[in-house]
Amino acid sequence: TQLLEQSPQFLSIQEGENLTVYCNSSSVFSSLQWYRQEPGEGPVLLVTVVTGGEVKKLKRLTFQFGDARKDSSLHITAAQTGDTGLYLCAGSQGAQKLVFGQGTRLTINP
Amino acid sequence: NAGVMQNPRHLVRRRGQEARLRCSPMKGHSHVYWYRQLPEEGLKFMVYLQKENIIDESGMPKERFSAEFPKEGPSILRIQQVVRGDSAAYFCASSPLVAVSPDTQYFGPGTRLTVL
């Protein structure tokens, strides 16, 4: 049973377009983190959201935590080829271990 | 996350051999976590340790796998009598004191284990 469902699993769009990646669960999380992982490397932390309804911006990336703290979204504006990669959401239920989604593999075409 | 160090980066073992994976957390971090990533899958939690203590090993296979984080030196994930199904990327993460920044974990570059 996948506790965190990411959608879509694969996304290929043209440079300059906007996109949204979703991370959904039926469980409540005390916090949720988004990571980006390059091939052959470890996940790199992008953001941590803690409060229901919280919105955080990181340049062209906007992260939102659902009001009920069960879901999150990542929106990228004017995608660039450098945004290509695997995006992972991970939730914590206060027990220090993270539960990961299966990832969204994003490809930005020039 | 360059502060979390893992070695070796790549490890090849034959079935039945032992694999030892090492992790040095970021400076000032006292919590270490191990995760496993199978091909085309997300990361799965294995074990959470503090110095000289195993806090949560609910994700560890019951046999052949063990982990430690001694008072001095790196954390070690040990896999005895490896099988082909153990082939995966193993990631270590660390975090500071819980009271400072709960839940945020920083990952190392991983060890890719291949079992022949």
- Per residue in A47-97, pLDDT (tens digit) is 999 899 999 999 999 999 999 999 999 999 999 999 999 999 999 877 678
Q: What percent of chain A has pLDDT over 90?
A: 83
The minimal CB distance from A42 to the residues B31, B44, B107 is found for: B107
B106 and A101 within 8 Å at the Cβ level: the answer is: no
What band does B99 get if pLDDT is binned at 50, 70 and 90?
low
Q: Please give the pLDDT value at position B59.
A: 92
What band does B114 get if pLDDT is binned at 50, 70 and 90?
very high
d(CA A74, CA A59): 12
The minimal CB distance from B104 to the residues A33, A41, A88 is found for: A33
B45 and A35 within 8 Å at the Cβ level: the answer is: no
In B, which residues are within 8 Å of A41 by CB distance? 109-110
Q: Please give the pLDDT value at position B41.
A: 77
What strand order describes the sheet that includes B75-79?
B5-7, B19-24, B75-79, B65-68
Q: What is chain B's mean pLDDT, rounded?
A: 91
Q: What percent of chain A has pLDDT over 70?
A: 96
Q: Please give the pLDDT value at position B1.
A: 46
Q: CA of A45, closest CA in chain B: separation in Å?
A: 7
Q: Please give the pLDDT value at position A22.
A: 97
Q: Please give the pLDDT value at position B102.
A: 57
SS3 letters across chain B: CCCCEEECCEEEECCCCCEEEEEECCCCCCEEEEEEECCCCCEEEEEEEECCEEEECCCCCCCCEEEECCCCCCEEEEECCCCHHHCEEEEEEEECCCCCCCCCCEECCCEEEEEC
In B, which residues are within 8 Å of A46 by CB distance? none
Q: Please give the pLDDT value at position B30.
A: 86
B107 and A48 within 8 Å at the Cβ level: the answer is: no
- Per residue in B40-72, pLDDT (tens digit) is 778 999 999 998 899 999 999 989 999 999 988
d(CA A77, CA A65): 18
Place of tokens 């390059």: A38
Instruction: Tell whether A30 is within 8 A of chain B (Cβ).
Output: yes
> Do residues A97 and A3 touch, judged by C-beta distance below 8 A?
no
**Of B64, B66, B68, which is closest to residue B53 (Cα–Cα)?**
B68
Segment 29-58 of chain B within 8 Å of chain A by CB: 31, 33, 35, 41-45, 48, 55-56, 58
Q: CA of B18, closest CA in chain A: separation in Å?
A: 23
**Cα-Cα-Cα-Cα dihedral sign, residues B2, B7, B13, B18:** negative
pLDDT for residue B100 is more than 70: no
| Element containing residue A49 per DSSP (H, E) | strand A44-49
